[in-house]
Structure 1
Amino acid sequence: MRTKDKLSHFTCRIRSYYFVFSLFMLAGTYQATAQRVDQLTDDQVLEFYRKAQASGLSEPQIEQAAMSQGFTLTDIAKMRKRIAELQSKGGRSTGQSYSDTSNGRRLPTDLSRRFADTSLYMTRKDTSRRLKVFGASLFENANLSFEPNLRIATPRNYIVGPDDEIGIDISGAASDNFRLKVTPEGTVKVPNIQPIFVAGLTIEQAEQRIVARLRKAGYQGLGVPGSGTDANVALTNIRSINVTLVGEVVRPGTYTVSSLGSAFNALYLAGGPNPETGSFRKISVIRGNRVVRTIDLYDFILRADQRDNIRLQDQDVIRVADYDTRIELAGEVRRPAIFEVLPGETLKTVLGFAGGFSDDAYRASITLRRNTAKERRIVTISEDQLATFVPQRGDKYLVGKILERYENRVQVAGAVMRPGDYALEPGLETVKQLINRADGLQKDAFTNRATIIRERADMDTENISFDLGKLMRGETPDIPLMRQDSLTVLSIRDLREEYYVIIEGAVNKPDTVEFVNNMSVADLIAVAGGFQEGAKPNLVEVARRIRQDSVGVRTTRLEIFRFSIDRNLQISPLEGNPATGVGGSSAFRLQPFDIVYVRTSANYEVQRQVYVSGEVMQPGNYAIYNRQERIADVIIRAGGLKPEAYMAGAQYRRLGQVVGSDLRNILNDPGAEENLLLNDGDTLIIPRRSEIVAVQGAVLNPSSVSYKAGYKFGDYVDEAGGFTDNARSGKAYIIYPNGRKDRTHKFLFFASRPRVEPGSIVVVPFKPLDNNKLTAAERIGIFSLLATVSIALINVLVR
Structure 2
Amino acid sequence: MRFFIFIVLMLGITGIARAQMSDAQVIEAVKEAQAQGKSQDEIVVMLAEKGVTKEQVMRIKENYEKQGSNQGGLSQGNRERVDTISVGNRDVVLVTEGDQKSIFGRNLFSNKNLTFEPSLNIPTPDNYKLGPGDEVIIDIWGNSETTIRQVISPEGNINVSGIGPIYLNGKQIKEASSYLKNMFSRIYSDLSSENSGTFLKLSLGQIRSIQVNIMGEVVMPGTYTLPSLATVFHALYSAGGVNNVGTLRDIVVYRNGKLLKRVDVYEYIMNGDDSFDITLQDGDLINVGTYQKIISISGNVKRPMRYELKNDEGLSKLLDYAGGFTSSAYKKNLNINRKGDTEHQIFTVFSEEYPSFVLADGDVVTVDPILEKYKNRVSINGAVFRDGNYAINDAIKTVKDLVLVAEGPREDAFLDRAILYREKDDLTREVISVDLGKLLNGEIEDIPLKKNDNLYVPSALALREGYVINIRGEVKSPKEYPYVDNMTLEDAVVQAGGLLESASVVRIDVARRIKSPKSTTEAQEEAQLFTFALKDGLMIDGAKSFLLEPFDEIYVRRSPGYREQRNVQVIGEVLYPGVYAKMSVNDRLSDLIKRAGGVTSKAYVKGARLERRLNQDELLRISSAQKLARFTEGDSISMESLDLGKTYYVGIDLEKALANPGGEADLVLREGDVLYVSNYINTVKISGAVMYPNAVTYQRKMKLRDYVDNAGGYSMNAKKRRAYVLYSNGTLAVRRGWKRPKIEPGCEIIVPMKLERKNRFGLPEILSLTTSTTSIAAMVTAILNNTK
TM-score of the superposition, structure 2-length normalised?
0.70
- What one-letter code is carried by the residue in structure 1 that aligns with 2:376? N
Flag the 1:452–1:191 CA change in 2: closer, same or farther, 3 A. same
SS in 1 for 2:191: coil
**After superposition, where does 1:555-570 map in structure 2 within 5 Å?**
555-567=524-536, 569-570=537-538
Match of 1:316 in 2: 284
Q: Quick one: which of 359, 362, 372 aligns to 1:404?
A: 372
Q: Quick one: which of 293, 312, 316 aligns to 1:348?
A: 316
Q: Deviation at 1:497?
A: 0.7
- What one-letter code is carried by the residue in structure 1 that aligns with 2:199? D
Q: Distance in 2 between matches of 1:645 and 1:148?
A: 108
SS in 1 for 2:414: strand
Flag the 1:149–1:546 CA change in 2: closer, same or farther, 3 A. same
Flag the 1:290–1:570 CA change in 2: closer, same or farther, 3 A. same
SS in 2 for 1:237: coil
Q: Deviation at 1:337?
A: 0.5
Match of 1:272 in 2: 241
Q: Deviation at 1:153?
A: 1.0
Would you say 1:376 and 2:344 are equivalent positions?
Answer: yes
Q: Distance in 1 between matches of 2:572 and 2:218?
A: 93
Flag the 1:648–1:603 CA change in 2: closer, same or farther, 3 A. closer
Match of 1:627 in 2: 585
Match of 2:671 in 1: 679
2:651·2:729 contact (CA, 8 Å) conserved in 1? Answer: no
Match of 1:239 in 2: 208
Flag the 1:487–1:120 CA change in 2: closer, same or farther, 3 A. closer
CA RMSD of aligned residues (A): 4.4
Q: Distance in 2 between matches of 1:537 and 1:635?
A: 38
Q: Deviation at 1:741?
A: 11
SS in 2 for 1:479: coil
- What one-letter code is carried by the residue in structure 2 that aligns with 1:707? A
1:695·1:761 contact (CA, 8 Å) conserved in 2? Answer: yes
1:728·1:766 contact (CA, 8 Å) conserved in 2? Answer: no
Match of 1:590 in 2: 548
SS in 1 for 2:430: strand
Match of 2:563 in 1: 605
Q: Quick one: which of 482, 490, 508 aligns to 2:450?
A: 482
Q: Distance in 2 between matches of 1:763 and 1:150?
A: 100
Q: Distance in 1 between matches of 2:250 and 2:729?
A: 98
Q: Deviation at 1:338?
A: 0.4
Q: Deviation at 1:330?
A: 0.7
Deviations 1:199-227 (A, max 9, x none): 222122222333322222x2222254412
SS in 2 for 1:358: coil
1:279·1:323 contact (CA, 8 Å) conserved in 2? Answer: yes
Flag the 1:152–1:667 CA change in 2: closer, same or farther, 3 A. farther
Deviations 1:537-557 (A, max 9, x none): 333222222324568655433
Match of 2:158 in 1: 188
Match of 2:177 in 1: 207
- What one-letter code is carried by the residue in structure 1 that aligns with 2:324? G
Flag the 1:148–1:252 CA change in 2: closer, same or farther, 3 A. same
Would you say 1:176 and 2:155 are equivalent positions?
Answer: no
Would you say 1:452 and 2:420 are equivalent positions?
Answer: yes
Q: Distance in 1 between matches of 2:220 and 2:308?
A: 21
Would you say 1:767 and 2:759 are equivalent positions?
Answer: no
2:610·2:730 contact (CA, 8 Å) conserved in 1? Answer: no
Q: Deviation at 1:492?
A: 1.9
Would you say 1:669 and 2:657 are equivalent positions?
Answer: yes
SS in 1 for 2:182: helix
1:712·1:756 contact (CA, 8 Å) conserved in 2? Answer: no
Q: Distance in 2 between matches of 1:372 and 1:147?
A: 44
Q: Distance in 1 between matches of 2:593 and 2:276?
A: 106
SS in 1 for 2:507: strand
Flag the 1:660–1:118 CA change in 2: closer, same or farther, 3 A. closer
Q: Deviation at 1:365?
A: 2.3
Match of 2:303 in 1: 335
Match of 1:470 in 2: 438
Q: Distance in 2 between matches of 1:377 and 1:410?
A: 41
Would you say 1:292 and 2:250 are equivalent positions?
Answer: no
Q: Deviation at 1:354?
A: 1.4
Deviations 1:654-696 (A, max 9, x none): 478254435563365365679563235x667789979998989
Q: Distance in 1 between matches of 2:713 and 2:166?
A: 118
Deviations 1:151-201 (A, max 9, x none): 221101112123322112111100111222223332223334423222222
Deviations 1:591-615 (A, max 9, x none): 2222222223222234444577788
Q: Quick one: which of 463, 466, 479 aligns to 1:495?
A: 463
Match of 1:504 in 2: 472
Would you say 1:131 and 2:123 are equivalent positions?
Answer: no
Deviations 1:594-637 (A, max 9, x none): 22222232222344445777888877665555433456766776
| Identity level (%) | 34
Q: Distance in 2 between matches of 1:395 and 1:489?
A: 54
Q: Distance in 2 between matches of 1:277 and 1:481?
A: 59
1:616·1:645 contact (CA, 8 Å) conserved in 2? Answer: no
- What one-letter code is carried by the residue in structure 2 that aligns with 1:333? V
Q: Quick one: which of 329, 332, 335 aligns to 1:367?
A: 335
- What one-letter code is carried by the residue in structure 2 that aligns with 1:557? E
2:614·2:648 contact (CA, 8 Å) conserved in 1? Answer: no
**After superposition, where does 1:242-253 map in structure 2 within 5 Å?**
242-253=211-222
Q: Distance in 1 between matches of 2:712 and 2:109?
A: 86
Q: Distance in 2 between matches of 1:611 and 1:674?
A: 16
Q: Distance in 2 between matches of 1:272 and 1:687?
A: 101
Report the number of matched residues: 635
Flag the 1:744–1:360 CA change in 2: closer, same or farther, 3 A. farther
1:543·1:558 contact (CA, 8 Å) conserved in 2? Answer: yes
Match of 2:618 in 1: none
SS in 1 for 2:282: coil
Q: Mean Cα displacement is larger for which, 125-134 or 381-390?
A: 125-134
Q: Quick one: which of 157, 168, 189 aligns to 2:127?
A: 157
SS in 1 for 2:417: strand
1:334·1:356 contact (CA, 8 Å) conserved in 2? Answer: yes
- What one-letter code is carried by the residue in structure 1 that aligns with 2:230? G
SS in 2 for 1:350: helix
- What one-letter code is carried by the residue in structure 2 that aligns with 1:585? K
- What one-letter code is carried by the residue in structure 1 that aligns with 2:309? V
Flag the 1:298–1:644 CA change in 2: closer, same or farther, 3 A. farther
Q: Distance in 1 between matches of 2:441 and 2:668?
A: 81
Q: Deviation at 1:331?
A: 1.1
Q: Distance in 1 between matches of 2:586 and 2:463?
A: 58
**After superposition, where does 1:625-704 map in structure 2 within 5 Å?**
625-629=583-587, 652-654=612-614, 657-661=645-649, 663=651, 665-666=653-654, 668-669=656-657, 675=667, 677-680=669-672
2:470·2:481 contact (CA, 8 Å) conserved in 1? Answer: yes
Flag the 1:743–1:624 CA change in 2: closer, same or farther, 3 A. closer
Match of 1:546 in 2: 514
Q: Deviation at 1:766?
A: 6.3
Q: Distance in 1 between matches of 2:573 and 2:249?
A: 101
Gaps of 5+ in 1: 1-53, 57-113, 575-583, 771-799
1:651·1:737 contact (CA, 8 Å) conserved in 2? Answer: no
Deviations 1:74-129 (A, max 9, x none): xxxxxxxxxxxxxxxxxxxxxxxxxxxxxxxxxxxxxxxx9x96554445579997
Deviations 1:282-313 (A, max 9, x none): 22233222332222222232333322322222
Flag the 1:125–1:434 CA change in 2: closer, same or farther, 3 A. closer
Q: Mean Cα displacement is larger for which, 171-180 or 607-616?
A: 607-616
